[in-house]
Amino acid sequence: MKLLTHNMLTSHVKGVTKGYPLLIKATEVKVSEEEFNPNFVSRMIPKLEWSALVQAADGLGHLQDLPTELIADYEANEDFLRKVHRVLLEVEVLEGCLQCPESGREFPITRGVPNMLLNEEEA
Amino acid sequence: LISDGQQCPLVVVGETGFQVSDEVYTVTIGATVPTGFENTAAEEVQEKIGANAKISKDRGRIYFQITTDKLSQVHHLRSVDNLFVVVEEYDNYQFKDSKEETLEDLQKLASKLPWSDALKVWNMNTTLKKKRGPHRQPQGPRGRGRGKANKVTLETDTMQTETIEADIVETDTVETDTVVTDTVVTDTVETDEVPGQELGAKVLKFRVTCNRAGDKHSFSSNEAARDFGGAVQELFQWKADMTKFDIEVLLNIHNVEMVIGIALTEESLHRRNITHFGPTTLRSTLCYGMLRLCKPQASDVILDPMCGTGAIPLEGAIEWQQAFYLAGDNNDMAVSRTVNNICHIQKKRRDKGSISGLPIDTVQWDLCHLPMRTSSVDIIITDMPFGKRMGSRKNNWDLYPSCLKEMARVTRPGSGKAVILTQDKKCFQKAISRMGGLWRKHHTVWVNVGGLHAGVFLLKRTLGIFGQIAEDSREGKESKPHEEKPGEERKKE
């Protein structure tokens, strides 16, 4: 599970109103290279919840020097875009779980795949 | 018409005994594409080769011209299933009334055709293929009886060999699906045939495949193939072999149109990305066609909520890398196969020395309760379960509206789109008609999937905010359509 994906995932347990962002509890994390596309990154940034991204990266110990606040004029700042690229696409959680911040319900992550299926009572 | 017997200044004799020269000339290439996607294929040809493609009245075929120096480019087309070089084409062939006379005509035709250029192209193509290394052997006995030995090897320890249930291809023949593997391809593999050394040493094996469509023919495709084939054999002294052939001659007849060609692709290219098949895996060429319809843009978040083996998002992640793909399914096996298919492609890329990472992720979820933030998705693209094979007609009636609602919730209002393939067209259209506040039908492509007629619906997300539109709530007491009659059994795909 990449952090870009995590940024879009939310808990949908019945009755939960504050199901985002999910807390990451990782037991295995991998960093792998992915081709850098500055256009992709700069257009993706407005679609992200920036603080959730920073929080997730930090929780995994992969924040490095990514700014906690979005900088102005990032479109032209390749250095910054590369940092965002790394955190969005290159850091992957392979094993662990995602936890609903409100209900505490845990969703396991296996082989990089979060299992978000709910039981009948939770749906 | 391409004239025969060109004088070439530089003559090198290739393995087949045909004269191969450095001269560049123009030939017509034919390609079979998923029916309904002729236009998208023509677009791709224009884009990647710069040629104007002509769409044949015989559905599922396009034709375009190229110069022989560009031959390798045709193999990069992702919307085509099979390629062939045209020997001759007739717009208005006068078939005689009687079977005997017609077949006799076909026999006589063989020696009158301008084979030479097409055969040179075939030869070039064979050399090209050898240089690319031994390519993957997809399924075993497939479609039109091409029985190549099926190589099945154990993958790495993350994958297992599995035999999966049969799948039907457009030619109405059952293929057995198994896990396949590539032999590792190194681009530096050299063919060890030096032109000239094997002059005349090898007798070529061939077969003729005839596709015939039309009401007024007095003969069957088998008869045409047999008699035409006989004449071809006499002409070239090749050996006929139905399974281990070097050359496949194509005889395509559609009413009064007739095209004679030589195949350039051995196995169909249509399952290129998938090694771990499921019961409903879509052809990659069909996936490509669907993706082209939605025109992925940079940073588009593209979701397949019922991804099966991941065929669609994987094709997207390879071909339109500027978008991001989320593949999801509720089924354990589907999720597992998707992950395996992605890993397989990544490994192939690593082996070739490319950056292996692909912009794709997999999630296990229930598509009626997507764990996604509202309005976070740009495009939904999926192959919805077909009638009796995956769901049932009755289930689809309930499933479609809930799906469409949930998909509307996660899709960005105004700019969002959905491209949905379904065979249950009636049910789907009915469901859409009740969602006017959220989805608007933009365009439909009618396609043929495994012998079944299906529709690819392109929808646009309205500006309506989810939860604020009256029409997004399901009306209660709608009467259900009557159940399918027993006689309308669908073929298993």
Q: Do residue B361 and residue A115 have CB atoms under 8 angstroms apart? A: no
What integer pLDDT is reported at residue B216 of this predicted model?
86
Cα–Cα distance measured from residue B242 to residue B265, given in angstroms and rounded to the nearest whole number: 16
Residues of A in contact with B361 (CB under 8 A): 1-2, 4-5, 112
Q: How far is CA B11 from the centre of its chain?
A: 37
Query: What stretches in chain B show pLDDT beneath 70?
Result: 1-22, 132-201, 267-280, 386-396, 469-493
Is A107 among the domain residues? yes
Q: What is the pLDDT of residues A49-104, one digit of tens each?
A: 999 999 999 999 999 889 999 988 999 999 999 999 999 999 999 999 999 999 99
Is A98 among the domain residues? yes
Is A121 among the domain residues? no
**Element (H or E) spanning B84, and its range?**
strand B82-90
**DSSP 8-state code for residue B146:** B
Q: What is the DSSP string of B96-112?
A: -SSHHHHHHHHHHHHTT
User: Are the C-beta atoms of B193 and B310 separated by less than 8 Å?
Assistant: no
- Give me the residue from B355, B369, B376 closest to A33, CB to CB: B355
Structure tokens at B418: 């959905």
A10 interfacial to chain B (CB closer than 8 Å): yes
Is A120 among the domain residues? no
In this structure, the strands spanning B301-304 and B324-329 are: parallel
Residue of B nearest to A45 (CA): B299
Packing angle of the helix pair B284-294, B311-319 (nearest 10 deg): 60
Q: Do residue B299 and residue A114 have CB atoms under 8 angstroms apart? A: no
Q: Do residue A39 and residue B366 have CB atoms under 8 angstroms apart? A: no
CA A65 to chain B, closest CA, distance in angstroms equals 23
- Chain A and chain B share a number of CB contacts under 8 A equal to 89
Q: Do residue B299 and residue A47 have CB atoms under 8 angstroms apart? A: yes
Three-state DSSP at B253 gives strand
Is A123 among the domain residues? no
Of residues B179 and A16, more confidence is placed in A16
Residue among B442, B443, B441, B438 at smallest CA distance from B463: B438
Residues of A in contact with B326 (CB under 8 A): 5, 8
Residue among B403, B422, B421, B413 at smallest CA distance from B440: B413
User: Are the C-beta atoms of B7 and B116 separated by less than 8 Å?
Assistant: no
Three-state DSSP at B405 gives helix
Residue among B59, B111, B66 at smallest CA distance from B88: B111
Is A81 among the domain residues? yes
What integer pLDDT is reported at residue A47 of this predicted model?
96
Overall domain count for chain A: 1
What integer pLDDT is reported at residue B278 of this predicted model?
65
Residue of A nearest to B377 (CA): A8
User: Are the C-beta atoms of B25 and B69 separated by less than 8 Å?
Assistant: no
Is A51 among the domain residues? yes
Q: Do residue B370 and residue A8 have CB atoms under 8 angstroms apart? A: no
Rg, Å, chain B Cα set: 24
Residue among B416, B380, B410, B391 at smallest CA distance from B290: B380
Q: What is the pLDDT of residues B402-456, one digit of tens each?
A: 889 999 999 999 999 999 999 888 889 989 998 889 999 999 999 887 778 889 9
What is the share, in percent, of chain A residues with pLDDT greater than 70?
Answer: 100
- The residue assigned the tokens 């096996």 is B333
Residues of B in contact with A47 (CB under 8 A): 299, 301, 376
Q: Do residue A8 and residue B356 have CB atoms under 8 angstroms apart? A: no
Residue A72 sits in a domain whose CATH number is 2.20.25.10
Residues of B in contact with A9 (CB under 8 A): 363, 371-373
A51 interfacial to chain B (CB closer than 8 Å): no
Q: Do residue B362 and residue A113 have CB atoms under 8 angstroms apart? A: yes
CA B367 to chain A, closest CA, distance in angstroms equals 10
First to last CA, chain A: 23
What integer pLDDT is reported at residue A81 of this predicted model?
95
B362 interfacial to chain A (CB closer than 8 Å): yes
Count how many Cα atoms sit within 13 Å of the Cα of residue B209 in the half-sphere of its side chain: 17
Residue of A nearest to B326 (CA): A5
Average pLDDT value over all residues in chain A: 94
Cα–Cα distance measured from residue A110 to residue A92, given in angstroms and rounded to the nearest whole number: 12
Is A32 among the domain residues? yes
Residues of B in contact with A118 (CB under 8 A): 366, 369
Q: Do residue B326 and residue A115 have CB atoms under 8 angstroms apart? A: no
What integer pLDDT is reported at residue B321 of this predicted model?
94
ipTM of the complex: 0.97
Residue of A nearest to B298 (CA): A40
A47 interfacial to chain B (CB closer than 8 Å): yes
Q: In what order do the strands lie in the sheet with B452-461?
A: B360-364, B324-329, B301-304, B379-383, B417-422, B452-461, B439-449
Tally the residues of chain A: 123
- Give me the residue from A2, A10, A34 closest to B373, CB to CB: A10
B359 interfacial to chain A (CB closer than 8 Å): yes
- Give me the residue from A8, A44, A113 closest to B339, CB to CB: A113
Domain that holds residue A105: 3-114
B196 interfacial to chain A (CB closer than 8 Å): no
3-state secondary structure chain A: CEHHHHHHECCCCCCCCCCCCCEEEEEEEEECCCCCCHHHHHHHHHHCCHHHHHHHHHHCCCCCCCCCCCCCCHHHCHHHHHHHHHHHHHEEEEEEEEECCCCCCEEEEECCEEECCCCCCCC
